[in-house]
Amino acid sequence: MQRRTVLKGGVSLLAAAGAPMVARAQAPKSIRIGYAVSLSGPYAPGAQSTTWSQYKLWAKDVNDAGGIFLKKHDRKVPIELIDYDDRSQIEEAIRLVERLILNDKVDLVLPPWGTATNLATAPVFNKHEYPAIHYTASAMRVRQLGPRWPYSFWALVQPDNGTEPLAAMCAQLKKEGKIKGRIAIMHVADQLGVEMATAMVDACKKAAVEVVYNKSYPLGVSDLQPQIREVMALEPDAFFCFSYPTDTFMVTEQAQVVGFSPPIFYTGVGTPFPAYVAKFGAKKNGVLLYGAVDTTAPGQKEYIERHKAMFNRGVEIGSIGTYGTLQILQKAIEQVGEIDRKKIRDAIASGTFETIADVYTFKDQVHQTAWAVGQWQGDEVVGIYPADKRGAKPLMFPKPKW
Amino acid sequence: MVLFEAILSGVLVGGMYGLIALGLNLQYGIARMMNLAYGETLMGGAFTAFWFLTLWRIDPLASLLFSVPVAFCGNWLIYRYLLTPLVRRAANRDVLEADTILVTFGLLFVFQGVALVQWGGEYRGYTYLAVPVHVLGATVALNRVLAFVAAVALALALYWLLRATRLGGALRAIAIDPVAAQLVAIDVPRLSALAFAAGGAIMAVAGTLVSMFLSFNASIGIVYTLKALIVVIMGGVGRMLGCLAAGLILGVAEALGAYLVDPGLTLAINFALFLLVLLVRPQGLFSRG
């Protein structure tokens, strides 16, 4: 017993002798990273598969590799996750982010799930100067918020650059004489749906294509067939539905039932989900959708296998994109070499990051060249627009009949 | 023609509303239990149909042979072991109602939590009988027609049962006054449990049929509980045909509103109608009380 104590003392003395070893002794035991994500309530389905599971998988991947390398301490430091459930309540999310920062004193906080929750918690991140790369948020407002919220970064495509390529595509097809250029728009009466539809109408006006129909339906609608019939009677050759998962499934199924099969068929959130594949099988071929990832990005195949092994389910572009933002954070920390939030923020703001989803750069804190439009081609969602991005595939036109 | 199709669509949706409300009507109208975990049985039925089809290629309709008895027994157990103690200790009906609401509210989170852990939170759906059928020149999906037919058949069957059989007479007596019913040798605890369990079984049927055309996930139950509650209150508590009629009125009003005014208004129309009924006939459209 005594000998052991002496031995221990000797070891620590030895450790104190060399300078790099001192630094090693001072290195934190772990990098403490907190987050509040909806694990119950109406946001839970989306939050679990797109956000929460990616945080878990990323932490496991990082820790399996020994941790994040901190130059300052010359060693790898593992991640410790502190997680809370915001119960799909925005006030709760705000409280929890504040709690993580003030009570738990975590080193970093990861953003929550959903546009509204991200916009509501962003002021807290910025007040305490915690950098956050918001992925599941898309709203026109984020473009104006840049200077006010310097610690917030927005990685997803936003309503304006998410719809401009769609209008340009219709204008181009019209010029080539492939379509008459009659556009029908349906959208869910929720912030994202309304903003996308508004941006789309503006973009169509600029591109001189005719919008023959533009109406909303409420969230939680149980039947869209009458509306689809109305659209069908107008004989549009391009159909855009800025929808949420339940209505995405509904509009696709009901369009098939009534035989509405325009050459351009676009649906919103939910289209890349595994459930969409399970439900529609080969009929999904040619359907256009919101956002995409670069399927040629290095590491993506391995990620999909690790995801499958951990959760026993397939991935969707949202989960790949979220994981990508975690890689940005990791790379920024490694560049800085220590947990200095100001420096990490600057590294994110100025860097170019190769991830499994995309190559990310932020200008005015927004990823300006984010993937806007994807398409089901065979069994894969491929990126179509912006067409000049790495991994972009040509548009499949016309969509095969149902 | 488009108008006729819109109305027909509304009728089918209305049938579905009636279908999801029938079980609650039995549980609340007869067994006097305001079951907030009611929608979880629908979720259970939907997941059963989904897993039977995805894992073993078993027809969703065949999955009813499993989900209906399970839902019946499960709801019977809930009534027998969770709710009966409340019935025993409750001083009056108001206390009982408050207690059951609290207990079933907790139950809702238990079921939802278990489902989330077991099956994850993502949306599920499958394609079954999504084939067009032509009714008087209009096109509708067969799976929706099936749900409508089931709603009408079940409502008529329950109506006949309650009106024309001895068992139905006893159930109605319990609905009106459980204490007095006991005085005329009606086995109130047993029959209340039966009504409650039957309500759950009907919800499993509704879950299976609805899952054929609407996507669902582990937290979808509460949405249907609320919808069912609106329909039951509108139609009159304990009124089976009233329940179906209220569902149809809501469905057709939604479809007509969407077609004639604006599709964005369907939910507003729904709740406006509900408010109107609450103001004008708080006892329900088809209730004599």
CATH, domain range A159-290+373-385: 3.40.50.2300
- Amino acid symbol at A237: D
A387 interface with B at CB cutoff 8 Å: no
- Decide which of 3.40.50.2300, 3.90.190.10, 3.40.50.970, 3.30.1360.10 is the CATH code for A13-157+296-361: 3.40.50.2300
Which tokens go with B59?
């027809």
Q: What does the alpha-carbon distance between residue B220 and residue A383 come to, in Å, rounded to a whole number? A: 32
The CA–CA distances, whole Å, from B212 to A115, A249, B191 equal: 30, 11, 32
Q: What does the alpha-carbon distance between residue B284 and residue B233 come to, in Å, rounded to a whole number? A: 6
A223 interface with B at CB cutoff 8 Å: yes
CB B219 within 8 A of CB B128: no
ipTM of the assembly? 0.86
Under 8 Å CB-to-CB from A154, ≥6 apart: which residues?
Answer: A134, A137, A142, A362, A365, A366, A367
Task: Check A245 against B109: CB less than 8 A apart.
Answer: no
B214 interface with A at CB cutoff 8 Å: yes
The DSSP call for residue A107 is S
A215 interface with B at CB cutoff 8 Å: yes
Helix (DSSP H) and strand (DSSP E) numbers for chain B: 12, 2
Task: Check B121 against A45: CB less than 8 A apart.
Answer: yes
Give the ranges where A106-219 is alpha helix by DSSP (H): 115-127, 142-145, 159-175, 191-206
3-state SS assignment for residue A5: helix
B 95-114 residues inside an 8 A Cβ radius of A: 109, 112-113
B125 interface with A at CB cutoff 8 Å: yes
| pLDDT, one tens digit for every residue, chain A (402 residues) | 444 544 454 444 444 444 444 445 578 999 999 999 998 777 887 888 899 999 999 999 999 999 999 999 999 999 999 999 998 899 999 999 999 999 999 999 999 999 999 999 999 999 999 999 999 999 998 888 878 999 999 999 999 999 999 999 999 999 999 999 999 999 998 889 999 999 999 999 999 999 999 999 988 888 999 899 999 999 999 999 999 888 999 999 999 999 999 999 999 999 998 889 989 999 999 999 999 999 999 999 999 999 999 988 888 899 999 999 999 999 999 999 999 999 999 999 999 999 999 999 999 999 999 999 999 999 999 999 999 999 999 999 999 999
Domain ranges of chain A: 13-157+296-361, 159-290+373-385
CB A155 within 8 A of CB A293: no
Distance of CA A72 to the CA centre of its chain: 31
B 24-53 residues inside an 8 A Cβ radius of A: none
Task: Check B215 against A245: CB less than 8 A apart.
Answer: yes
* Distance from the B55 Cα atom to the nearest Cα atom in chain A, whole angstroms: 12
pLDDT beyond 60 at B270: yes
Sign of CA dihedral B118, B53, A282, B12: negative
Distance of CA B90 to the CA centre of its chain: 26
The CA–CA distances, whole Å, from B239 to B24, B165, B169 equal: 11, 16, 14
CA-nearest residue to B144 within chain A is A223
Per the DSSP assignment, residues forming a β-bridge with B253 are: none
Under 8 Å CB-to-CB from A66, ≥6 apart: which residues?
Answer: A76, A78
* Distance from the B265 Cα atom to the nearest Cα atom in chain A, whole angstroms: 7
Q: What does the alpha-carbon distance between residue A86 and residue A98 come to, in Å, rounded to a whole number? A: 12
- Amino acid symbol at A386: P
* Closest residue by Cα to residue B158 from B242, B53, B250: B242
* Distance from the A345 Cα atom to the nearest Cα atom in chain B, whole angstroms: 32
* Closest residue by Cα to residue A181 from A213, A208, A202, A200: A208
A41 interface with B at CB cutoff 8 Å: yes
Neighbour count for residue A74 (Cβ, 10 Å) = 13
CB B32 within 8 A of CB B192: yes
The CA–CA distances, whole Å, from A135 to A242, A301, A325, B8 equal: 18, 21, 7, 42
Would you give the end-to-end CA distance of chain A in angstroms?
A: 78
